[in-house]
Amino acid sequence: MNEAELQAWVDGRLPPDRLAAVDRYLADHPAEAACLQAYREQNAALHALFDHLLDDEVPVTLAPPRPEAAPARPSTPAWSIPAWRRMAAMLVVAVGAGLIGGTAGWTLRGAGTDSGGLAAGGATQALAALPRQAAIAHAVYTPEVKHPVEVGADQQQHLVAWLSKRLGKQLRPPQLAKQGYELVGGRLLPGDNGPVAQFMYADASGQRLTMYVSSGQKQNRDTGFRFAQEGNVGVFYWIDGSFGYALSAAVGKKELSQIANAVYEQLQP
């Protein structure tokens, strides 16, 4: 009896005529039959051991971002993860370079213009830095599987109290269920002018969205919505008093703008 047929017997894949032949053979070879029966039990046991995983909810972090409804050009899909990764790499370089330049600039400003307020150029630069930093933070943390956030949404009270304390402002992470996004959690990040809070959301398909709240904005003026495109990540940002807000996601501008409006409305006291 050939080995392949015996294995096929174990898996129940023999055609009827061969099945009868193998059955006859096994009737005459009880030791071999016992082994094959044990193999069949292995099959069943493997299913018993692992099949429950099929019913587990798949972590949203494992899904690729949902493509936008508008047909993307196949050659350069706007939503492709490697593009995220490429951008993350580019941005990390940008952060590296920015740290050197940024620190020097910050020191100069601190030493020279503290009492006189920021030069107009400096303010513009600081404003432009907000979406870039938000996009960097978005690109760095959204692909994380194990540690996308420091504190999960299951500890929302603690999360909000903690980040509010560090930023010196009562924060309320917006509820975006209507827009299809659930809060995943948040983390604390360093910003140019002080601590930054990042709230992360995800929709059912795994598309992630981050809300970046930075303290210490010194423009002393509120702004309307502004939009910046950083690689694949679109960012809506605005300044409200001494706080800067930036909403980032690799989705279309229109969809992001609707979410940004919902966020803005909820942040109004």
Partner 1 sequence: MQELHGRLLACLPRLRRYARALTGDSASADDLVQDTVERGWSRIDQLRPDGDLRAWLFGIMHNLHIDQLRRAPPPAVELEDGDLPAAPSTGSLDMRDLERALQQLPSAQREVLLLVALEEMRYEDVAALLDIPLGTVMSRLSRARENLRRLMTGQAPAATLKVVK
In the complex, the smallest distance separating the C-beta of residue 18 from partner 1, rounded to whole angstroms, is 14
Contact 212, 238 (CB under 8 A): no
In the complex, the smallest distance separating the C-beta of residue 7 from partner 1, rounded to whole angstroms, is 5
For residue 146, the 8-state DSSP code is S
CB atoms within 10 A of CB 233: 25
Cα–Cα distance, 267 to 213 (Å, whole number): 11
Per-residue binding letters, 169-208, with partner 1 (x by CB under 8 A): ------------------------------------x---
Q: Which stretch binds partner 1 (CB under 8 A): 69-77, 156-164, 190-198, 213-221?
A: 69-77
Nearest to 231 by CA among 63, 72, 91: 91
Among 15, 71, 96, 224, binds partner 1 (CB under 8 A): 71
Smaller CB distance to partner 1: residue 84 or 238? 84
69: tokens are 């409804």
Cα–Cα distance, 254 to 9 (Å, whole number): 58
Nearest to 239 by CA among 118, 127, 123, 120: 127
Site residues, partner 1 (CB under 8 A):
3-4, 6-8, 10-11, 13, 35, 38-39, 41-43, 45-51, 53-56, 58-59, 61-64, 66-67, 69, 71-72, 74, 77, 80-82, 85, 145-146, 205
